[in-house]
């Protein structure tokens, strides 16, 4: 079995960040520089997740994707703030190979088929943030799905 290395860089306000449960985010560097370094070190692909795009009601980072695509020549998946097939189109045109959706797909499950019908199944990545139920067990599994960067239970 082949091992694939796919770094996932959480981004906020155009910078890579690290935090716990998407809170107390600390700056960890420039996303383009870090993606290029992972590329030089042999990463198989790169994933960017704009962790506050949905909760801040803004679109994802087109400029970061464009600048990264000029330097990094491995598949790139981008998610965060993707709400429509037009958002997917913009990301694909600036260099993304795949586009991740979460909050918008949970709010409107038809988004999945609309994107897949227009761009093909291979373009779409459905992202799910799951955590243990908070307090009383509300689900049979004991886990719940969250949206808005882990801020809202669904």
Catalytic positions are 10, 129
For residue 128, CA distances in Å to 23, 146, 153 come to: 18, 8, 12
CA angle 22, 27, 33 (to 5 degrees): 115
Contact 153, 146 (CB under 8 A): yes
Distance, in Å, from the CA atom of 97 to the CA atom of 123, rounded to the nearest integer, reads 7
Distance, in Å, from the CA atom of 140 to the CA atom of 56, rounded to the nearest integer, reads 31
DSSP symbol at 89: H
> Of 96, 19, 27, 34, whose CA–CA distance to 87 is shortest?
96
Find the helix or strand (DSSP H, E) in which 36 lies. helix 31-40
């Amino acid at each position: 079995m082949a091992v694939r290395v796919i770094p996932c860089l959480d981004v906020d306000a155009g910078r890579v960040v690290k935090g716990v449960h998407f809170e107390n985010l600390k700056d960890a560097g420039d996303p383009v520089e870090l993606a290029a370094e992972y590329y030089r070190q042999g990463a198989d692909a790169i994933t960017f997740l704009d962790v506050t795009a949905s909760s801040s009601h803004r679109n994802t980072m087109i400029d970061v994707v464009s600048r990264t695509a000029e330097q990094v020549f491995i598949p790139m998946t981008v998610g965060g703030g993707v709400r429509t097939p037009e958002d997917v189109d913009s990301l694909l045109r600036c260099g993304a190979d795949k586009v991740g959706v979460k909050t918008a797909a949970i709010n409107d499950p038809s988004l999945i088929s609309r994107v897949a019908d227009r761009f093909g199944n291979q373009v779409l990545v459905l992202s799910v943030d799951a955590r243990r139920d908070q307090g009383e067990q509300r689900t049979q599994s004991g886990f719940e799905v969250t949206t808005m960067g882990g801020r809202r239970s669904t």
